[in-house]
Amino acid sequence: EASVYLHQLAHPGAQVGYSYRLASTANEAHSLMVGADVGTSVWHRHSIGVFVLPRVGYRLRTAGGFHAEVNMHVGYLQGVLASESVALVNGAIVSSGRAGYPYAYLGPSVGVGYAIRAVGVTPFARIGAQWQLPVFDQSLMRLVAAVGAEVAFR
């Protein structure tokens, strides 16, 4: 699957992922899904984020092709600063580079999609809340969204 990714619903990015049906009922109406996404987002003049986000979820699919899903994501986010930062060390201002910070990135998402079986493509939309931690001495909730399409490989 490939999608446009929105960090904080305002900072654009992209992600690619893979989903695998781990278990399902005979008619595939109920499925336990596992997958992972790799992506990036750009917060203009602030930072660039690169993430790896494995997920596990449940998908309900109707006979007509509509599906609804609930996922839990647990992953890693690396922030890279948009410009050089500085730090105060022993009373002197020194360069800290642009390395940014590593974060745990976890939280739920919900989504919907519709399978266009004639061409094997399922457009989808997901929205969720990802907790980014640690951010200094706290965790921050980031609203995220993804709109894209998945292609069935059989």
Q: What is the tens place of the pLDDT at every residue in 60-89?
A: 999 999 999 999 999 998 888 767 777 788
In this model, does residue 49 exceed pLDDT 90?
no
Name the residue with higher pLDDT: 94 or 55: 55
CA-CA distances (angstroms) from residue 41 to 110, 142, 149? Answer: 20, 12, 18
- Report the predicted TM-score, pTM, of the whole model to 2 decimal places: 0.80
**pLDDT value of residue 81:** 75
Total residue length of the chain: 154
Contacts of 152 (CB under 8 A, 6+ apart): 115, 120, 121, 122
103 near 135, Cβ under 8 Å?
yes
Report residue 145 as tokens.
């969204």
In this model, does residue 1 exceed pLDDT 80?
yes
- What share of the chain has pLDDT > 90, as a percent? 56
Report residue 106 as tokens.
């976890």
Average pLDDT rounded to a whole number, residues 110-123: 94
